[in-house]
Structure 1
């Protein structure tokens, strides 16, 4: 069966289906009749094949690791593989400096260390982000200030940053969630007026661009992750980019036990430091993996753009908005919102179950981090009570409300970046799965058994 459809017919058919026009039945007209029933109701999968696996490894990766192994120079202080990676990555991104470290979390931690973030300081972060963004603030005993989410873009609502600024604000740390740039014009304008540095959490955003400039090079520095799910990966690893000479020099010192460069490592340069160095194995693997990064990014971008064209035609499915300044998204995640009102009030949990049954892996993304016990318990942490006092910590709890983010966390759906390395046909089959589910949403909702307490 050839499921590859002419795009005009595809969009036209979905428009007819969404308008209630039936051509031989209520389901998507260009699907063969046996495909009209969702897989959870006994029909065949809309996507019966497999999406590309991740990571992608080749002979050059194997040889590079063997070369490092045989060299017996496994740490960066004795070899040159990390330096080779750093040079290649800074050339690719247009950054003046690149520093490889052991993880994306430690790229952020190093950046905060350079700025001497500590007790009494406040750091502004988005609430819709991976927990590491929060953790690096708390590890420095600074106070994280959450900013609510822009529902349509999934990014920090940059227009709400200014109201979170206080006399103790020492850093603004936007996150390019899913690989799509945050509204950096607004972020940088606000930061500039208040003379507050910006560190970009670009851990998911390799090669993403804002107005033609690679993210991670716009603020004082940018942090990247090379954890195993990332678009460029070495299992674990990270990097700090900066165009500031002093920042880059101090970043090297911080992650090298506060000691100087490789050739001058006998003098301690600050009052704090750690060992966050990248290994030669990581550096070599990233160098070989980088050979595929640009072509993979183009494939993701083309597929994501096409998928967005298809999904926009389905009522109740809202792909994440890109700001006008976005010239490239890394598409580490493909994100969209699911409005259950267009799907017979089917709970999102049932929707995700139905989509997975069609052969389309998916998840609901982040939960409301500000409401997690892990975060809320910070107000009772003995160190924070000693530093800030019980009244201040209780006031902090009261400022963590982020209603737009709560709504997003009820509606969000994610696809992983490796799915976007598939074919145009894969993208069409994702859309076909969604149309099948929507056209049978009432039956799916009645036949489902949502988990106890699941009202989403």
Structure 2
């Protein structure tokens, strides 16, 4: 780091009273536009606001599944339920193990607890922060029934090796694509490699209806089982008051489906814009000592970019803590956050064993589920180093991306002053 004392108000960090690099806003999210308003109005006027086979829901399910290369789609109430329905449809439950990454959102692992199975945390790879196939293979036991790779930030996990491992060991591959709407691996959309693909439409996601989720599969029998689970245990052939399995009301509404249909039409254009913005940031931020954009596997033909991620080295910034660095960026008008602060197994629900231990078959002496004390070195490093920029920022212009680089350069140049003021 080559730091200089700020000599003008423009040079002084905005966190310390200087003029911010940027005062303009960023693209709004969720996207409120004429298409969204027309879609909701059409759903309202149709008079069918929620139904398992409602016209908007059915059209969206077909369109989304087809876009991602699957035969069947099932719109559900959120991404967590999408994963639970996939697990239940496969008969995974008490005493079973499911391998998940240590660096992910809570729902990937709590969905496993939700069906009374046990998540086994495996480390992530050092280049892309996705589930490491070597760590997965080392974690497989006779109790393992499934692998849930997360396409973190929109970058696909190594679907070649993970699919091979699933076949080799007779395991189900369930893709958690909550961050990866439209992402592709070797030209094929994610979600179509596993027996199930699952998405979230929560408020921050690249497609959103405030809440919502999607399950896709190309297996006809599993599609019917999943449909039954999401519709109170009914079957398509049965009577209305005929509930053959323990399901729930997990249906996506007509309003949500209408909004999402309108957004699906814009997804390709938005994917291209985010890809372009990420290239600008990769080039600009890589020039700043101490900032390293995450890599991109050459087999990743489309990156979903739910997040733009880069590594932060405090030593290059005079010891400035990462949280102070992101605060300085925010003061300059750049939305940034530290991401996941601890490996997932250290969250209280796992580390304090706040789940039904008897139902899951949890054994406190079993090393694979020694939650809170697992050693996942790459995950731990990412928890300490990664910085996130949210997806809607990437919908901005090249000039907007240049502001991000300028702000990072400004913070770098004034790092000593920021350290002294800490």
Whether these two folds match at TM > 0.5 is yes
Residue in structure 2 matched with residue 422 of structure 1 by the alignment:
396
CA distance 1:375–1:283, shift in 2 (3 Å):
same
- Which deviates the most, 421-430 or 76-85? 76-85
CA distance 1:197–1:27, shift in 2 (3 Å):
farther
Unaligned segments of structure 2, at least 5 residues: none
Residue in structure 2 matched with residue 178 of structure 1 by the alignment:
153
CA distance 1:159–1:324, shift in 2 (3 Å):
farther
Q: CA deviation at 1:388?
A: 3.6
TM-score by length of 2: 0.94
CA distance 1:130–1:222, shift in 2 (3 Å):
same
Matched, 1:331 2:269: no
TM-score by length of 1: 0.87
Residue in structure 2 matched with residue 313 of structure 1 by the alignment:
287
Residue in structure 2 matched with residue 345 of structure 1 by the alignment:
319
**Secondary structure of the structure 1 residue equivalent to 2:273:** helix
Write the distance in 2 (CA, Å) between the matches of 1:198 and 1:260: 25
Matched, 1:116 2:101: no
**Secondary structure of the structure 2 residue equivalent to 1:73:** coil
Structural mapping, 1:359-398, within 5 Å: 359-368=333-342, 369-378=344-353, 381=355, 383-384=357-358, 387-392=361-366, 396-397=370-371
Matched, 1:205 2:183: no
Q: How many residues align?
A: 421
Residue in structure 1 matched with residue 262 of structure 2 by the alignment:
288
Residue in structure 1 matched with residue 378 of structure 2 by the alignment:
404
Residue in structure 2 matched with residue 66 of structure 1 by the alignment:
41
Structural mapping, 1:19-98, within 5 Å: 26=4, 35-77=10-52, 79-98=54-73
Q: CA deviation at 1:78?
A: 6.3
Structure showing greater Rg: 1
CA contact (8 A) 2:347 2:372 kept: no
CA distance 1:27–1:333, shift in 2 (3 Å):
farther
CA distance 1:399–1:247, shift in 2 (3 Å):
farther
CA contact (8 A) 1:94 1:214 kept: yes
Q: CA deviation at 1:441?
A: 1.0
CA contact (8 A) 1:385 1:393 kept: no
CA distance 1:384–1:97, shift in 2 (3 Å):
same
Q: CA deviation at 1:399?
A: 6.5
- Which deviates the most, 117-126 or 390-399? 390-399
**Secondary structure of the structure 2 residue equivalent to 1:327:** strand
Runs of 4+ in 1 over 6 A off after TM superposition: none
Unaligned segments of structure 1, at least 5 residues: 1-17, 449-456
